[in-house]
Structure 1
């Protein structure tokens, strides 16, 4: 048979040994016959083999097991078959199988680890994809370091103006540790500065390993309670823009896979930081442009009280294209305009500026509301920008209290006469820029003394989870309830109750006018 076979009597003496057993045991079979196994292999005494051998002899039940056998320096599969007059033992070397199983277990462990790291990388990448600002990025990194990596400290050190280092974002430790890390990272001769200079990550598996190169920060590192530290450069176009500092209280070796994972993570963070910085710069330009477009002061016109409000969208939404304007005309009438350019960001703000200045020019030339909406639509179509807008243009003749308006796909103005609200629901043409050479219409009505007029953009009333009809009814009810209030107080109430303090998906404008009874 292919197995080694040995037969023992009740005293444990060799009775039979086949050639395979002799080879595995390292003896000629004839040398073993008649000798007690305990004398030939004294290492057996007290071993698992002896215990199982005696068990099989006592119970007369076969036993099968596998294990490492020191005297023969290998793994063996052993089967014991007891009989009244002795024991027959079959055994074979299974080192190859053990190695294969160990390799398979290592492969499974490696694949499992790779999948776990891939999941962690996916999670942090998804979080970074939602981060718009640098603080958003640092928060995402801190959460990932704590939840996925088990880090006790996570911080981002960025290269600022004139090469100065600045630690941004929270750590997962106390304010004291935060201050300690700032002191460490701010020193010239530290791992942070060296990693920025070399653009190579540094992994210190123990505090002693770190202090071997930077002994002067030993007290600070001990105060931070760190044993294992990783410094990961964030590189954009070959240029380090900062370092991610990760710290653990315990000491542990950084294996090859972990180093590769952390380096990849730093690359994703670098791009997120750069994108956030670009977003901040663009947002600053867009906000400055929008603030420059919105009128700083409303005109003073006898017989009319004016006020306006502008609210940006939620923090996760770009600056939009909502705008308003009020212009006192040479004929003592008042032109009021509220518009909304589709989209967000710099492009929307640029189109908004073009429309606002064009509308002012047309109004100063004495054109009617219908003519102004038509000219704005034609200008937008001719620009080829594929950007659309809505607008409502109102001309209020204060002398005869006549109101003329043209609505281009915009939410309807609201007129309140006493406590009775009414929407001017006539639509005089589609959104601006939708149709070439379209002639818009307009309507005219007389306003009673003391009437109130509200112009607004859709950010005031539109919500995804509510129909626009219900929202307009709500606006009408709140406006009617606030009609006895002063214009400023009424506008504040509309923003509080209709717009709400948070959750807006768009910016909004509100332009309100009270026609005063000066008789």
Structure 2
């Protein structure tokens, strides 16, 4: 009797599926089971597929691919449909894949089985409603593993996975290092249990070693299967009291990077559905471990770059205290172009530098390192701040080839306002910088600025002001740019802040609103711990813990942050004068608005708002007159001094012209001539003082007691 006749007698047909050609060969019984005439036939894959229920076809497609990978049998239950889409019978398919080059052939049987009861088609004794629970489990597992950011976190997620119906009680992840197999992590074991498996040769007769060598999964449903296949290492596994084991390869980009063990205290038959779930989890686990490994390597590299490029603040000078923070932008290598530095100079002086190279990538970090070294070299040669920045600008212009040019004397781009075509590319980059020399004895500061935000001062009484300083274009734009120097004084008890624009603009702020946020923090500080203030400033932008400059960052940063704080030790003078100054150049008349705002900040706690408005109006008139009627710049100096019960405001505006102003009586339509008239009406005292070169126009206001605030002062001639 022929084999075909025997199989037909038990309603079993044979089929062969050639994956390379897409041709399926059926014997007579297999054709009958598919609802076709009972004779041998060769059909296309599409013709056969039309006979299967669409859901079942998707199932068998996954089962077949799993069998090809593992070299096992492909088993599935399939519903057969007629031309009208009605289910006519259910068959059971068992086939063996034979790999041939890039393709494979399936050779197997189709056997008719009894129709399952409604609602049980997708059930197995172990897993219950398999399709529903499997999809939900894999979705949750994929999401959790995708969010894991370190190897330890990936292992914690893997240990917490609860597989539907057959959760393992023991897990282990093995890694390959050369010709050795090591344990990366494990779960469900006691401390020390991993010792025999911690490092073994890949030639060892152990399931994980064989999986790592061959890249093919091993399923051991019973202890007898383990003993039969791996008798040498069975004594090591027997002491854990497990009943079933699955060892699956961890494959990424075609390379086996290790193995994953799932062990069970209850017997597991490892049905095709269960193998499919384990294989899918192994693939997700391998991808998660690979991502975590890359991220950890990047963090190690970025930390190394940070340690190499960022200075460690050495001992400060007597009477000075310095604090610094650096927070790189997140994503990828956490390095960027922001930096700070502290340089000890000859003669007991010290220089503080802060800067920002355009970009947030490795190229920006490399340029930052070169520029920082150049600045230190120029400072060590004894150059003054203006000369240091001029030389640094020529240096940066030279190493970036001068490809991007801006008109000489034109408006320099503000930090964060550069055309996107130049941001982060391989072309020319510029850098903003603030360079400051400090005399620790007198507190004198000589400041040169290259397109960088101005420094801020917190005075002894808590008043916080931006100190406008003269400046030039960012470094690297024009090699012939000049950088004028501004001289200020840091009094005992005062604190100076220098920062990059990342501290101000992060969180949807611009430079102005970001400054108001930082100013409120500076005003609320008690003035004692400089380190605490540095932490608070960074935490206000990125949250607690983000001020650590050497640790990995979990959240994504919008921009790098560099921060320097300087305070001058010593007892603050009781009721010390509050003073400030700024220059309004002829070419920057828009800074008149900054002068008005600057005066309001100086008088933030003045008791009479009308006097503040009067002072702002007079300053605006005085500065405007200088810019209109002379060829020079206007120098504004404002000082608030304290008497026993009241305070006095004195404002001076100086210029280099010897021509003295004359009091006039303008008509209703006159556009000028009101400046001195306003001072006579609004000030308690005013005057014009000739000087050796130029003159100074001044006025004074006396703050009334708090209960008497409101009425304007009586004019004084």
Do these two structures clear the TM 0.5 threshold for a shared fold by scoring above it? yes
1:205 corresponds to which residue? 221
The answer to whether the aligner puts 1:139 opposite 2:156 as a matched pair is yes
SS of residue in 2 equivalent to 1:354: helix
Q: What is the alpha-carbon distance in structure 1 between the residues aligned to residue 358 and residue 116 of structure 2? A: 60
Aligned residues of 2:247 and 2:259 also touching (Cα < 8 A): yes
The aligned counterpart of 1:276 is: 292
After TM superposition, give the deviation of residue 258 of structure 1 in Å: 3.9
Note the 1:309-388 alignment, pairs <5 A. Answer: 309-310=324-325, 312=327, 318-321=333-336, 322-330=338-346, 334-341=350-357, 346-364=362-380, 366=383, 368=386, 371=390, 374-375=393-394, 378=397, 379=399, 382=402, 385=426
1:353 Cα offset (Å) = 1.5
Deviation at 1:485, TM superposition (A): 1.6
Deviation at 1:356, TM superposition (A): 1.8
Match of 2:193 among 163, 172, 180: 180
314-323 vs 399-408, which deviates more? Answer: 314-323
Shift of 1:325: 0.7
Equivalent residue for 1:512, pick from 544, 565, 576? 565
Compute the displacement of 1:422 (Å): 1.2
With over 3 angstroms needed to count, the CA separation of the structure-2 counterparts of 1:252 and 1:382, relative to structure 1, is farther
Pair 1:423-2:476 in alignment: no
Deviation, structure 1 residue 231: 0.7
Q: Which residue of 2 aligns with 1:406?
A: 449
Secondary structure of the corresponding residue to residue 151 of structure 1: coil
Alpha-carbon separation, structure 2, partners of 1:417 and 1:494: 17
Aligned-pair CA distance for 1:155: 2.4
- SS of 1:270's equivalent? helix
**d(CA) in 2 for partners of 1:400, 1:273:** 55
Asked whether the 8 Å contact 1:455–1:512 carries over to 2, the reply is: yes
2:208 aligned residue (189, 192, 201) = 192
TM-score, length of structure 1 as denominator length: 0.64
State the secondary structure of the residue aligned to 1:501.
coil
Larger helix percent: 1
Give how far 1:224 is off. 3.8
Indicate if the aligned counterparts of 1:414 and 1:424 stay in contact, CA closer than 8 A.
yes
SS of residue matched to 1:511: strand
Which SS does the other structure have where 1:180 is aligned? coil
Residues of 1 paired with 2:118 and 2:468: CA distance? Answer: 73
Query: 1:413-447, CA deviations, whole angstroms, 9 ceiling, x for partnerless residues?
Result: 221221222124679578767x6779476562421
Q: CA deviation at 1:140?
A: 3.6
Give the distance between the partners of 2:161 and 2:429, measured in 1 at CA: 41
Q: Which residue of 2 aligns with 1:226?
A: 242
| In 2: Cα distance, 1:102 partner to 1:348 partner | 69
Does the Cα contact within 8 Å between 2:166 and 2:268 map onto a contact in 1?
no
Q: Match of 2:270, SS?
A: coil
State how far apart, in whole Å, the 1-side matches of 2:272 and 2:163 are: 21
Give the CA deviation at 1:359.
3.0
SS at 1:320 equivalent: coil
Distance change >3 Å, CA 206–CA 495, structure 1 → 2 = same
The reply on whether 1:167 has 2:183 as its aligned counterpart is: yes
**1:157 CA drift (Å):** 1.4
Which of 163, 171, 174 is equivalent to 1:154?
A: 171
**Secondary structure in structure 1 of the residue aligned to 2:286:** helix
User: Within 1, Cα distance between the matches of 2:141 and 2:359?
Assistant: 28
- Give per-residue Cα distances to partners, 1:12-42, cap 9 Å, x unaligned: xxxxxxxxxxxxxxxxxxxxxxxxxxxxxxx
Query: 1:336 Cα deviation (Å)?
Result: 1.8
CA distance in 2, matches of 1:291, 1:95: 69
Q: In structure 2, how many angstroms separate the alpha carbons of the residues matched to 1:311 and 1:279?
A: 20
Contact 1:326 1:337 in 2 (8 A): yes
Report the counterpart of residue 83 of structure 1 in structure 2.
Answer: none
- TM-score using structure 2 length: 0.48
The correspondence for 1:394, drawn from 426, 429, 435, is 435
Instruction: For 2:118 and 2:359, locate their aligned partners in 1 and report how far apart those are by CA, in whole Å.
Output: 54
Q: Which one of the candidate residues 471, 477, 488 is aligned to 1:446? A: 488
CA offsets 1:278-328 (integer angstroms, 9 cap, x no match): 3333332331122122223437546x6242333556998742323211223
The separation in 2 between residues aligned to 1:354 and 1:431, in whole angstroms, is: 16
- Aligned partners of 1:286 and 1:345 also within 8 Å: no
Distance 1:499 1:373, change over 3 A: farther
1:456 corresponds to which of 480, 483, 499: 499
CA–CA distance in structure 1, aligned partners of residues 197 and 345 of structure 2? 64
Structure 2: 5+ residue stretches without partners: 1-85, 92-111, 124-128, 404-424, 547-554, 574-717
Please state how far the C-alpha of 1:244 moved relative to its aligned partner.
0.9
- Residue 18 (structure 2) aligns with: none
Q: Closer, same or farther in 2 for the Cα pair 1:98/1:452, shift >3 Å?
A: closer
Task: Count how many residue pairs are aligned between Structure 1 and Structure 2.
Answer: 418
Mapped partners of 1:333, 1:185: distance in 2:
57
Pick closer, same or farther for the CA change 1:234–1:215 going to 2, 3 Å.
same
Q: Return closer, same or farther for 1:363/1:104 CA change in 2, 3 Å cut-off.
A: farther
Partners of 1:167 and 1:182 within 8 A in 2: no
Aligned residue in 1 for 2:78: none
Query: Any unmatched runs of 5+ in structure 1?
Result: 1-93
Deviations 1:307-364 (A, max 9, x none): 2333556998742323211223457654322234566564453333123223334444
SS of residue in 2 equivalent to 1:464: coil
2:450 and 2:475 in contact (8 A); partners too: no
Structure 1 pair 123–493 and aligned structure 2 pair: CA distance change class (3 A)? closer
CA RMSD of aligned residues (A): 4.6
